[in-house]
Chain A
Amino acid sequence: MKSAIEYHTKSLLNSYAILFFSQNKVLGTLLLLVSFFNIPAGLTGLVCVIFALTTVNQLGFHRDFTHKGLYSFNALLFGLAFGMFYQTNLAFLLWLMVGCIITIVLSIILSAWLSKYNLPVLSIPFIITYWLVILATGTDNTTGLLPKDGLLPNQFSSLGSQHLFSTSAQGNSIFYFADLFFRALSAIIFQNNVIVGLIIAIGIFIHSRISFSLLLIGFFTACCFHKITGMYPDDVSYYHLGANFMMVSAAIGGFFLIPSLRSYLWAIISIPASFLLVNALTKLLGIYNLPVFSLPFCLITISLLYFFTLRITANKLQLTPIQHYSPEKNLYQYTNNVKRLDNLKYLPLNLPFMGEWTVSQGYNGDITHKDDWANALDFVITDEEQKTFEYPGTRPEHFYCFNKPVLACADGVVETVADNIEDNTIGQINTLQNWGNTVVIKHADDLYSKVSHLKKNSIKVKPGDVVKQGDQLALCGNSGRSPEPHLHFQLQLTPYIGSKTLKYPFADYTGHNLGAPDKYFAYSIPEEGMVISPVEINILLKQAFAFEPGYYGVIETPDGRKETWEVYKDAYNGRYLYSKQTGAVAYFVNNGYEFYFTAFYGDEKSLLYLFYLAAYRINFSSTYPGVSDNYPLPANKFGLWLHDIVAPFCQFVKHTYLNQYQINRDEISIAANAQYCFLNKCNSIMEAEIRIANNKLKTFSVKMNNQITEATWDSANN
Chain B
Amino acid sequence: MEKLKYERPLIKKMNTGIPNKFGQKAAFEPVKYIDEVPVKQLIEKFGSPLFVLSEQRIRRNYRAAVRAFSTRYPKVQFAWSYKTNYLNAVCNIFHQEGSWAEVVSGFEYHKAINNGIPGEQIIFNGPYKDAEALNLAIENGSLIHIDHFDELYNLITLCKSHHKKPKVAVRVNMDTGVYPVWDRFGFNYENGQAWSTITKVLESGVLQLAGLHCHIGTFVLSVNAYKAAASKLCDLAMKCKSQHNHIIQYLDMGGGFPSVNTLKGYHPSGADAIPSIDEYAEVITETILNAGFEKDDLPLLILETGRALIDDAGYLLGTVVANKRLSDGRKATIVDFGVNVLFTSFWYEHKISPAQDATQHTEETVLYGPLCMNIDVLRESVNLPLLNAGDHLVVHKVGAYNMTQWMQFINLRPAVVLIDKSSNVHLIRQPETLEYLQTPELLPDYLKIVHG
Contact = CB atoms under 8 A, between A and B. Distances in A.
Interface of A: 353-357, 381, 383-384, 400-401, 403-405, 468, 470, 472, 533-534, 536, 539, 542-543, 664-665
Nearest to B59: A384
A531 to B, nearest CB: 11
A381 B295 contact: no
Given A405-B72, A665-B120, A665-B167, A383 B296 contact: no
Interface of B: 59-60, 63-64, 67, 69-75, 120, 141, 167, 278, 282, 289, 295-296
B73 A354 contact: yes
A356 B64 contact: no
Contacts of A539: 296
A514 to B, nearest CB: 15
A543 B296 contact: yes
Nearest to B66: A355
A90 B70 CA distance: 88
Most chain-A Cβ atoms within 10 A of its Cβ — which of B67, B75, B141, B282? B67
B296 A354 contact: no
- For chain A, what secondary structure do more than half of its interface residues adopt (helix, strand, loop), or is it mixed? loop
Nearest to B120: A665
Contacts of B72: 354-355, 404-405
Contact of A355 (B70, B289, B295): B70
Given A384-B63, A468-B295, A356 B74 contact: no
Nearest to A385: B60
A356 B167 contact: no
B144 to A, nearest CB: 13
B71 A536 contact: no
Contacts, number: 49
B120 A355 contact: no
Contact of B74 (A357, A401, A536): A536
Nearest to B73: A354
B67 A356 contact: yes
Contacts of A403: 278, 282
Contact of B64 (A383, A404, A534): A383
Contacts of B296: 539, 542-543
A384 B72 CA distance: 19
Contacts of A354: 70-74
Contacts of A357: 71
Contacts of B64: 383
Contact of A404 (B60, B71, B75, B167): B71
A472 B289 CA distance: 9
B67 A355 contact: yes
A664 B119 CA distance: 10
Contacts of B141: 664-665
A401 B64 CA distance: 12
Closest 6 CB pairs of A and B: A355-B71, A355-B70, A404-B71, A354-B74, A665-B141, A539-B296
Contacts of B59: 384
B143 to A, nearest CB: 10
A156 B227 CA distance: 94
B67 A400 contact: yes
Contacts of A356: 67, 70-71
Contact of B63 (A383, A470, A543): A383
A384 B71 contact: no
Contacts of A401: 71
A472 B295 CA distance: 12
Most chain-B Cβ atoms within 10 A of its Cβ — which of A354, A381, A536, A542? A354
A384 B60 contact: yes
B204 to A, nearest CB: 17
28 contacts: A354-B70, A354-B74, A355-B69, A355-B72, A356-B67, A357-B71, A381-B67, A381-B71, A383-B60, A383-B64, A384-B63, A400-B67, A400-B71, A403-B278, A403-B282, A404-B71, A404-B72, A405-B71, A468-B295, A470-B74, A470-B295, A472-B289, A534-B74, A536-B74, A539-B296, A542-B296, A665-B141, A665-B167
Contacts of A355: 67, 69-72
A354 B72 CA distance: 6
Contacts of B282: 403
A469 B282 CA distance: 21
A296 B390 CA distance: 110
Nearest to A622: B75
A401 B70 CA distance: 12
A353 B289 CA distance: 14
A355 B63 CA distance: 12
Contacts of A543: 296
A403 B74 CA distance: 16
Given A383-B67, A539-B296, A665-B120, 15 more contacts: A354-B70, A354-B71, A354-B74, A355-B67, A355-B72, A357-B71, A381-B67, A381-B71, A400-B67, A401-B71, A403-B278, A472-B289, A534-B74, A542-B296, A543-B296
A165 B289 CA distance: 84
A542 B70 CA distance: 21
B422 to A, nearest CB: 14
Contacts of A536: 74-75
Contacts of A534: 74
A401 B59 CA distance: 20
A89 B244 CA distance: 82
Contacts of A404: 71-72
Most chain-B Cβ atoms within 10 A of its Cβ — which of A381, A401, A536? A536
A404 B285 CA distance: 11
Given A384-B59, A384-B60, A353 B74 contact: no
A543 B297 CA distance: 11
A536 B63 CA distance: 18
Contacts of A353: 71
A508 B72 CA distance: 19
A536 B295 CA distance: 13
Nearest to B70: A355
A551 to B, nearest CB: 17
Nearest to A534: B74
